[in-house]
Amino acid sequence: MSESVKAFFSEEQQHVIVEAIRRAELMTSGEIRVHLDGSCQGDPVRKAIAVFRWLKMHKTAQRNGVLIYLAVKDSKFAVIGDKGINTHVRNDFWDTVRDSMHGHFVQGTFVEGLVSGIDTLATELSVNFPYQEDDVDELPNEISFGDGK
Ligand code: CA
Ligand code: CA
């Protein structure tokens, strides 16, 4: 299953997504990851929380990791962040990020949707988590795949 998810985006498309993450992390100390799943039974937020743990995304100094989870076969997605973020951001923070992706996903333009979400995250996170001169890439700028088991 995870092989077919890997093939969902071409290498070039994956490169575009990873570049967006790299760019974003030059604006903010927040650490962004993208995880692609096949289909998602049930609530994508719950699944995203499980994947967040699986990827050990809590291992950031400021607890400011963000995971974009997307199940490509049924267009279900979730964006979740670590507790460092939720103590700082406005109430509509997550809505703003989700809205920036939703329209694209509905139309099946997944790469554009992910890039839009990543760009929005960068802008929003840079307010409370600006880029630091001594920045460390705490979580790899890679797309991960599969059902997280
Ligand atoms: Ca960083
Ligand atoms: Ca990173």
Specify whether the CB–CB gap between 47 and 148 falls below 8 A: yes
In the sheet where 65-71 sits, what is the strand order?
Answer: 76-81, 65-71, 31-37, 143-145
Ligand nearest to the CA of 30: 1
Return the sign of the alpha-carbon dihedral for residues 40, 42, 44, 48: negative
pLDDT of residue 148: 64
| 13 CA → ligand 2 middle, Å | 18
Rounded to the nearest integer, the mean pLDDT of the chain is 94
Q: Name the more confident of 6 and 31.
A: 31
pLDDT of residue 42: 93
Ligand 2 centroid to residue 109 C-alpha, Å: 24
pLDDT at 2: 57
What does the pLDDT look like over 62-117, one tens digit per residue? 999 999 999 999 889 999 999 999 999 888 999 999 999 999 999 999 999 999 99
- 119-145: average pLDDT: 96
Residue 147 in this model has a pLDDT that exceeds 60? yes
Counting Cα atoms < 13 Å in the Cβ hemisphere of 53 gives 6
Q: How far is the CA of 46 from the centre of ligand 2 (A)?
A: 23
